[in-house]
Chain A
Amino acid sequence: MKFLNKIIFFFYREYKLNLSGFQDILTNIIFFFVSILIFIFSIGPDEEVISLIGVGIVWALLLLSSTLSLKKFYQDDFENGNLLIIHLNGFSFGFIAILKTISHFLFVQIPFLLSIPIACIILNISDDKFFYLLTSFSMGSLTLSCLGSISSSMNLMNHRNYLLGSVIVMIFSVPIIIFSIGIINIEQNFNSLINILFGILLIVFAINPWASGLCLKLSLENN
């Protein structure tokens, strides 16, 4: 019971933290829409072409804009020592990684999920494709959060090359994008591809506490 309370209040803390930095999340979403705008004008506002490649644009830009907030994943809590305090409060590092991943999913990816309908209206994406996009992203975004947790915990002590974290997330998210776009374009394969996506999610979710926990421990040890 005590442990459950601690988990609940951990999320309360994350909520307060994200509420005070709400403009950051909003900036992410604005980045997403502005880059859609730039994409549309760079290929010309031809409706047929846009509705053909619209889904791909949305997925690629979702990925790019969700990697923007990676640096804040652990960095703030690491630098002001809150990570250590949470650990001393009775959470192992692996468990902190899981909690942080879920909180990243709730507070950063869910706003993107909510902004997908608007993007679909702008890009003339048909209703059935919109449904596939939503299902694939709701599954892929949790995978992206796990990958983000791994890469940002790896780069906690990397003071020279912050961009490496984004590159790591992007390189590992290639299969997710392949299968998600596969769902949308080859509709009869829906079930098998969603199973593959779910499998990737489970694998990454299992690796995440181990890899992130180890990296967090290492960074705190040598800070």
Chain B
Amino acid sequence: MIIVKDLSVERLDKRIFENINLSLASSDITILKGNNGSGKTTLLKTILNIIEPSVGSIYWKGKLLKKNLYDFYSNVTYIADRTSSLTRLTVKDNINIWKKIFLSNINDSQIETALKTLRLENYLNQKVGRLSLGETKKLELLRLIIENKKLWILDEPLSNLDEHSIELIKQTFEDHCSKDGSIIFSSHQNPGIYVTEEINL
């Protein structure tokens, strides 16, 4: 699906990373490993065409990414390392807004089961600002199910999560892969998730 060739990014004449090669077919999982400040987020943003690479090119479904941008964006879910949920609104309102702006065709019972497995069903009418860090992260990951797209790009999805939730994420990843989806995620360690490719930055 996505092929990255000889990618290098420079910032203020400082090289952040160079010569990254990556190819992701459907039902593949790629992990980006690296220390803090090694450029994991920059690489993900470059793949999302937010940051211009100084050298190298990215292809999506055989075409240059820039020429195929609309199709790419309609197939990708990006979850940043910060929470995008609106802290002033309740969990329910946030889910409703997401369902509407992503034109999701998912039904309420699916969301309910997802909430139950994430153990968030008791917080439906709470304001997001009052949830704990891990709970907001889990709510953020609920967007994966709501958006229901092929390619998942996740920035530090495992931070702040307990073991039960990490186990859940493992299963979700496997489910997604069995449905021909593919995943790129960044993390500084791998807690036993099955990956097809590992990139060290």
Direct contact of A and B (CB under 8 A): yes
- Chain A residues at the B interface, C-beta cutoff of 8 Å: 2, 5-6, 9-10, 12-13, 16-17, 20-21, 79-82, 84-86, 88-90, 220-222
In the complex, which residue of chain B has the Cβ closest to the Cβ of A21?
B88
In the complex, which residue of chain A has the Cβ closest to the Cβ of B46?
A221
How far in angstroms is the closest Cβ of chain B from A160? 19
Query: Would you list 21 pairs from A and B whose C-beta atoms are within 8 A, ordered by A residue?
Result: A9-B101, A9-B103, A10-B101, A12-B97, A13-B97, A13-B101, A16-B93, A17-B89, A21-B88, A80-B83, A80-B86, A81-B80, A82-B86, A84-B78, A84-B80, A88-B48, A88-B73, A89-B73, A90-B70, A221-B45, A221-B52
How far in angstroms is the closest Cβ of chain A from B136? 11
B194 at the interface (CB under 8 A from A): no
Cβ A5 vs Cβ B103 within 8 A:
yes
Q: Which of B81-96 contact A (CB under 8 A)?
A: 82-89, 93
Cβ A220 vs Cβ B103 within 8 A:
no
Q: 7 other contacts beyond A81-B80, A90-B70, with CB at 8 A cut-off?
A: A9-B101, A9-B103, A17-B89, A21-B88, A80-B83, A88-B73, A88-B76
Residues of B within 8 A of A86 (CB): 101
Residues of B within 8 A of A81 (CB): 80, 82-84
Residues of B within 8 A of A10 (CB): 101
Pick the contact of A20: B50, B83, B88, B100 (CB < 8 A).
B88
Number of B residues with CB within 8 Å of any CB on chain A: 26
Cβ A12 vs Cβ B103 within 8 A:
no
How far in angstroms is the closest Cβ of chain B from A48? 47
Cβ A90 vs Cβ B84 within 8 A:
no
How far in angstroms is the closest Cβ of chain A from B183? 16
Task: Give the distance in Å from the alpha carbon of A24 to the alpha carbon of B62 in the complex.
Answer: 49
Given contacts A9-B101, A220-B50, contact A80 B82 (CB under 8 A): yes
How far in angstroms is the closest Cβ of chain B from A205? 25
B106 at the interface (CB under 8 A from A): no
Residues of A within 8 A of B48 (CB): 88
Residues of B within 8 A of A82 (CB): 84, 86
How far in angstroms is the closest Cβ of chain B from A118? 28
Pick the contact of B86: A2, A5, A17, A88 (CB < 8 A).
A17
